[in-house]
Amino acid sequence: MVTLGTAFEDLDNELESMLDMVSEALDLMEKDKKEEAMEVLADLEDALLDFLDYEEVEEEPEAVKIEEEPKKAAPKKPAAPKKAAAKPKKK
């Protein structure tokens, strides 16, 4: 059984590791090493996807996507008759 303290420590370690990756990417960008920075950021993206338990899914081609049928507009209700504005009485 994992204790709450251990779980928080594991989360802290993972987030600290990701922060280190961000710092490394920023340092590489400052040194005009954009290719290396992009690799670090790609690794960071993978780490975040793993951390969040996400799976990358490729998008379907446009021709395969099912288009929703446009919803028919509900019939409009007739507008309520406008009441004449009450004129103030003159004294």
Amino acid 2: pLDDT: 84
Q: What is the pTM of this model?
A: 0.56
Per residue in 40-55, pLDDT (tens digit) is: 999 999 999 999 988 7
Average pLDDT score over residue span 56-61: 73
Segments making up each domain of the chain, as ranges: 25-56
Given a contact cutoff of 8 angstroms between Cβ atoms, the answer to whether 44 and 23 are in contact is no
| Cα of 6 vs its chain's centroid, Å | 29
